[in-house]
Amino acid sequence: MRDQAGRLVGAAPLYCSSSILGGCIHYRTLLPMADYATGFEYPDWIVTGADQAGVSQAIATALNQARADWDLLWMARLAGWSGALKRITSACESAGLLWRSREREFSLIDLPASMEAFERSLSSNRRQQLRRKRRRLQREKAVVTTRCQSHDELPEYLEALFALHHLRWAPLGDPGCFIRKPAEAAFYSQFLPMALDAGWLAMYALRHQGEIRAVQVGYNYGGMFHQMQEGFDPQFYPGIGNVLRAEVIQACIDEGISAYDFLGGHTEHKRRWNAHLRIGFDLLIGNANLKSRLLQTNQIWPTGRFLRLAGRDRRPGER
């Protein structure tokens, strides 16, 4: 959408895929652009200016006018604290589109002004374990923390990320996302140099005798660190992944970063890091035809048990 001066003020980048209900009913399904290959979180319609509600309304109206071309619009993992759900669903209601949502859990650590204050927020057992492991790695194994600072360094960090991510998950019978989804590895290889140029990339490693033994990658954006992927060698030292996380948290605090965003999920592991629960949403929008109305029943949605994205062996919303 453009304003009267011709400026772009709103966009909903989507592509058309397919989902299948019960193995037999096919739905033309709109998805946010690049959702599968990027490990994305917090999708939204892109709106700017003072009249964001009006811009969202225009996008919903355009979707309704093109309803002959699609059945469902699926947006997983919306941020529940950004106002996206209310803005989008209000626009859909005004445009005559159907919608339903379900809650999704996210985790965030609010970072204090010092590492000492952060450590005090942890349980005494957790605090002592981290301090002991950090000191031992630094003293006995001469492990040092480094950060990727240049394009020349990036290939080494990327290679370590792909290899160590696999090592982390292989004992659990999972090859890791970069092997399961080669498109995601390709995306990281292409996007991380751009993120480095933009000043967003925050990629750290623990090194022993120069060799990377653990690595973590995220983006510093909007005053927050968004943790995307990580990997470590579980045979090198127990808890090395936790040690690197503590190092990254300290680096964030030293840079004045306000929060460490774990993104999706609120597990016991994240709670032990003093992460608090944030509620987001999965959003299913229908074009009000008979097939989309079928999905607006409690037996089918929001459970989504019988609805799968074609060709991906996953339900909508699964990464």
Q: Which two tokens stand for residue 78?
A: 């919306």
Delineate the domains of the chain, giving CATH numbers in brackets: 10-105+279-309 (no CATH), 112-257 (3.40.630.30)
High-pLDDT (> 70) share of the chain, %: 97
- Spell out where the chain has E strands: 10-11, 14-21, 25-32, 46-47, 72-78, 98-110, 143-147, 201-208, 211-221, 224-232, 259-264, 276-286, 307-309
User: What is the pLDDT, as a whole number, of residue 319?
Assistant: 45
User: What is the pLDDT, as a whole number, of residue 4?
Assistant: 76
Contact 85, 77 (CB under 8 A): no
Q: Which two tokens stand for residue 52?
A: 């964001």
User: What is the pLDDT, as a whole number, of residue 118?
Assistant: 97
User: What is the pLDDT, as a whole number, of residue 6?
Assistant: 80
pLDDT digits (tens, 9 = 90+) for 34-69: 888 898 899 999 999 888 999 999 999 999 999 999
Assign 3-state DSSP to the chain and report helix, strand, coil percentages, each to 5. 40, 30, 30
Q: Which of 42, 108, 47, 39 is nearest to 76 (CA)?
A: 42
pLDDT digits (tens, 9 = 90+) for 120-175: 999 999 999 999 999 999 888 899 999 999 999 999 999 999 999 999 999 989 99
Q: Which of 101, 128, 127 is nearest to 302 (CA)?
A: 101
Q: Residue 99 and residue 89: Cα distance in Å, rounded? A: 7
Band the pLDDT of 315: cuts 50, 70, 90.
very low
User: What is the pLDDT, as a whole number, of residue 151?
Assistant: 98
Q: Does the predicted model carry a pTM greater than 0.95?
A: no
User: What is the pLDDT, as a whole number, of residue 37?
Assistant: 86
* pLDDT at residue 311 greater than cutoff 70: no
* pLDDT at residue 15 greater than cutoff 50: yes
Residue 81 sits at φ, ψ, to 5 deg, of -110, 5
Q: Which of 226, 224, 221, 231 is nearest to 263 (CA)?
A: 226
